[in-house]
Amino acid sequence: MLRFNMLVGVIFTVLYIPYFIFMLRKKYNIEKLIFNITLYIYFLFVLRLTLFPILIQKEAMESGRILFKGDPLINLIPFNTLKEVFTQYGTPSFESTLFQACGNFIMLMPLGFLLPLTFSKKFNWKSILCISFLFSFSIELIQFIQNSFYGFPNRFSDIDDIISNTIGALIGYVIYRIFEPLINKLLLQRSTC
């Protein structure tokens, strides 16, 4: 089993160093450097949360195939999983179902906030919608490919995750827009000091 451990973190850090050097040479201001590093750390956190551990032992895959035989690898029915939150109310699995649904809204919320902070390009809600949709779709596609390779649903691929993630990123963007005047004021004060 390949876990997101120190070695994987070091590999991703080494991959980031050339970009960091590029930013230093372009004389990015300290705020942009901090926002960029924060976005990269956030990106690694999302990867760790959604794609790791990666099964590499044949025995683990065979055990999973036996344990989860017949379970679906994917849900393509919109709002099916979200509907379960309401049908599970009062049952022992309600809390975990609610946690899963809320987690999907929250997971990409920082993306909607960090993208406009990190890059000079002006983002609007449509660009955040497209980027967050593609990012979430990519995660679900990779999870589906992993599941297909394993032969069982190690991570469930779900259209509702894409919907929730995208809405979460849009909420993050709305939060950014609400605080944008304050952020710009603070950055302007910092640059005049």
> End-to-end CA distance of the chain, in Å?
51
- Average pLDDT score, the chain: 86
Q: pLDDT tens across 31-70, in order?
A: 888 898 999 999 999 998 998 888 877 887 788 777 777 6
Listed residue (121, 132, 134) closest to 174, CA to CA: 132
35 is in which domain, residue-wise? 6-192
Residue 74 has phi, psi (to 5 degrees) of -155, 150
| Structural domain count, the chain | 1
185 domain-assigned: yes
DSSP state at residue 139: H
Listed residue (138, 155, 157, 130) closest to 68, CA to CA: 155
122 domain-assigned: yes
1 domain-assigned: no
80 domain-assigned: yes
166 domain-assigned: yes
Half-sphere exposure of 191 (CA within 13 A, CB side): 11
Q: pLDDT tens across 126-172, in order?
A: 999 999 999 999 999 999 998 888 887 788 889 999 999 999 999 99
- State how beta strands 157-158 and 74-75 pair: parallel
65: which 2 tokens?
A: 């195939």
180 domain-assigned: yes
176 domain-assigned: yes
171: which 2 tokens?
A: 């909420």
CB 91 within 8 A of CB 111: no
52 domain-assigned: yes
